[in-house]
Amino acid sequence: MKKIINAVDQVEEQMIEGLRKAYPKYVKRVEGTNVIVRAEKKEGKVALISGGGSGHEPAHAGYVGKGMLDGAVPGAVFTSPASDQVYEALKAVATDKGVLMIIKNYTGDVMNFEMAADMARDEGIEVEQVVVNDDVAVDGSLYTVGRRGVAGTVFVHKIAGAKAETGASLAEVKATAEKAIANIRSMSMAISPCTVPAAGKPGFEISDDEMEIGIGIHGEPGTHKDKMKTADEIADQLLDKILADIDFSGSEVAVMINGCGATPLMELFIVNNHVNDVLTQKGIKVYKTLVGEFMTSLEMEGFSITLMKLDDELKSLLDAPADTPAFKEI
Amino acid sequence: MTDSSKVLDIVGHIGEAISENAQFLTDLDAAIGDNDHGVNMARGFKKVEEDLPGLKDKDMGAIFKKVGMDIVSAVGGSSGPLYGTAFMKAGAAVAGKMEIDLNDFLKIMDEAISGVQLRGKAEKGEKTMLDAMMPARDAMREAAEAGKGIKEVLDAGVKAAEDGVEYTKTIIATKGRASYLGERSIGHQDPGATSFMVMLKAVADKYEE
């Protein structure tokens, strides 16, 4: 394993400190915890927290700031934060309008956030949650724990964050977040795996002429291996699955082409070139496009496509101002 | 009867066993999960080990509760809340006791299992730690009811847990991260079931024939 780190057991700590020192205008760390909150707490609005394992930078701490999150809870690499950390975040951001937790659908994340919410409610903090499950790669049937939450979560941060800034109630912010989730679909692929520092070995093996389709965001293997193809063919493959899942015809969409950590931006633009053409040909209007690294998986080489089907409310919330370390909308 | 110093010794040995098997457990998790089960469990038991000296002369409830809380906060992921809840619920069942006997131990197993079920909303046959825990508990109860001593009871539990781990190779995961793999999860043993087997073996190690 070759990584630019100092010690395996210091990875999370030094990342959090480095991030905090980079963006003092935006964020601060809650003392004695791993929790990142806005530099200046905003009262009078519903507070939003999210979190998950580290290794997804800039998610989630990079989205703490005006128009998006109020707090983020990073766990160990690819490991849900423990409930006591989530509880600290809930206490730190709570306002009298309550807190909404944006959780990605993983067993551990849901358990830890729910345990923390129970603890916070005991102290009179009003807490609600939404669970993001945008990944169409995995079967959402009764035989799994449901679809995973992946890069589409960043859209949920943006939409719910903008809604909260309007002064909407907790129930309203939750309802809007759920509407966004119902309209977001993603799918990912990778051509090389990533190595969790503490594990020291890649999460899967793959030969030079193969790709892994339907990967999650934790370096886990996908649903199947496939022969390597061209960018356009791969994009078609992912897009087909997304477009088959909900009816996008005639609608306007936001597109996110997300790099998994080691994918050149050049390649992401090549993918977007084709995705945009295909959507246009199908009569789906691209309202807004994001290309870049929003939800990474360490040094994994690959990408995801996310589509969010828009209505007037979602469009205006998407366009609302945001000013965070990793996401700005002017 | 098992007193608190013996329990602390056993818990310490469980930590050693987890640490020795950390790479193995992580490798199992790489195949069908996210490549960190052993790493996370070892981090949790390292925290437990640091806190063991402070638990000397405490009652069983306090010991199990602290172990559970350490696991919840230091393991994270899903194993943290699951094993943490198991230990905390076990602690509540033996609160105030300075010694435990075989009956208490079986009660601990019952409570640990119900804690895991409550938190994980899982049943037997879903390729989880329950597939080792539940058969182990049943085998231990049967052995105890047949009048066997603690060592024989634990050995019966270890055997059943091993069989349970083998059984997880034959089934599709329907809970946890491995469920995303569908049929691709067949042929792989469940890391959580395996870590339970490692822990129960460590308990059995500490009793003589």
Angle at B35 between CA B31 and CA B39, to 5 degrees: 135
Show the tokens assigned to B59.
């009652």
Is B78 near chain A, with CB under 8 Å? yes
Contact A196 B76 (CB under 8 A): no
Please tell me whether residues A96 and A234 are part of one structural domain: no
Closest CA to A216 of A78, A65, A43: A78
List, for residues B68-125, the tens digit of each pLDDT value.
999 998 998 899 999 999 999 999 999 999 999 999 999 999 999 999 998 898 999 9
Label residue A289 exposed, middle or buried (CB < 10 Å: 0-12, 13-18, 19+). Answer: middle
Is B128 near chain A, with CB under 8 Å? no
Structural domains counted in chain B:
1
pLDDT tens for chain A, residues 1 to 330: 899 999 999 999 999 999 999 999 999 999 999 999 999 999 999 999 999 999 999 999 999 999 999 999 999 999 999 999 999 999 999 999 999 999 999 888 999 999 899 889 989 999 999 999 999 998 765 566 789 999 999 999 999 999 999 999 999 999 999 999 999 999 999 999 999 998 888 988 899 999 999 998 988 888 889 999 999 999 999 999 999 999 999 999 999 999 999 999 999 999 999 999 999 999 999 999 999 999 999 999 999 999 999 999 999 999 999 999 999 999
CA A267/CA B35 separation, integer angstroms? 28
Q: What CATH number is associated with residue A83?
A: 3.40.50.10440
Nearest to A144 among B73, B120, B180 (CB): B180
Please tell me whether residues A21 and A155 are part of one structural domain: yes
Q: What CATH number is associated with residue B153?
A: 1.25.40.340
Q: Residue A329 domain-assigned? A: no
Structural domains counted in chain A:
2
Cβ-proximal residues to B146 (8 Å cutoff; 6+ apart), any chain: none
Contact A117, A90 (CB under 8 A): yes
Please tell me whether residues A92 and A203 are part of one structural domain: no
Contact A107 B78 (CB under 8 A): yes
Q: Residue A200 domain-assigned? A: yes
| Average pLDDT of the residues in B49-65 | 95
Q: What is the pLDDT of residue A203?
A: 83
Is A216 near chain B, with CB under 8 Å? yes
Q: Which residue has the tokens 């937790």?
A: A101
Please tell me whether residues A74 and A219 are part of one structural domain: no
Show the tokens assigned to B208.
């003589």
Candidates A35, A79, A194: best to mutate against B (most CBs of B within 10 A) is A79
ipTM: 0.73
Expressed as residue numbers, the domain containing B144 is 2-205
The number of residues making up chain A comes to 330
Touching B: A residues 177-196, CB under 8 Å: 196
Contact A196 B36 (CB under 8 A): yes
Contact B75 A75 (CB under 8 A): no
Contact A112 B76 (CB under 8 A): yes
Q: Residue A262 domain-assigned? A: yes
The confidence band for B33, taking pLDDT boundaries of 50, 70 and 90, is: confident
Nearest to A83 among B27, B43, B81 (CB): B81
Contact B102, B110 (CB under 8 A): no
Q: What is the pLDDT of residue A141?
A: 55
Q: Residue A4 domain-assigned? A: no
Please tell me whether residues A19 and A122 are part of one structural domain: yes
Q: Residue A95 domain-assigned? A: yes
Looking at A120, A152, A182, which one is the last position of a domain?
A182
Contact B73 A218 (CB under 8 A): no
Please tell me whether residues A39 and A136 are part of one structural domain: yes
Please tell me whether residues A226 and A175 are part of one structural domain: no
Report the Cα–Cα distance between both ends of chain B, in Å, rounded: 15
Q: What is the pLDDT of residue B205?
A: 96
Q: What is the pLDDT of residue B36?
A: 86
The confidence band for B40, taking pLDDT boundaries of 50, 70 and 90, is: very high
Nearest to A220 among B73, B119, B177 (CB): B177
| Average pLDDT of the residues in B153-160 | 98
Q: Residue A264 domain-assigned? A: yes
Per cent of chain B over pLDDT 90 is 85
Contact B82 A84 (CB under 8 A): no
Is A206 near chain B, with CB under 8 Å? no
Expressed as residue numbers, the domain containing A155 is 9-182
Q: What CATH number is associated with residue A241?
A: 3.30.1180.20
Q: Residue A325 domain-assigned? A: no
Please tell me whether residues A29 and A165 are part of one structural domain: yes
Please tell me whether residues A87 and A220 are part of one structural domain: no
Closest CA to A150 of A237, A71, A234, A219: A219
C-beta atoms surrounding B146 within 10 Å: 10
Is A115 near chain B, with CB under 8 Å? yes
Q: Residue A35 domain-assigned? A: yes
Please tell me whether residues A166 and A41 are part of one structural domain: yes
User: Which residues of A are catalytic, by number?
Assistant: 56, 218
Please tell me whether residues A176 and A193 are part of one structural domain: no
Show the tokens assigned to B65.
């509760």
Nearest-neighbour CA in chain A from B80: distance (Å):
7
Looking at A155, A182, A209, which one is the last position of a domain?
A182
Please tell me whether residues A157 and A199 are part of one structural domain: no
Q: What is the pLDDT of residue A256?
A: 98
Q: Which residues of B touch A194 (CB under 8 A)?
A: none
Total beta-carbon pairs less than 8 A apart between chain A and chain B = 113
Show the tokens assigned to A196.
């969790």
How far lies A61's CA from each of A36, A50, A53, A107, A310, in Å?
6, 8, 11, 21, 26
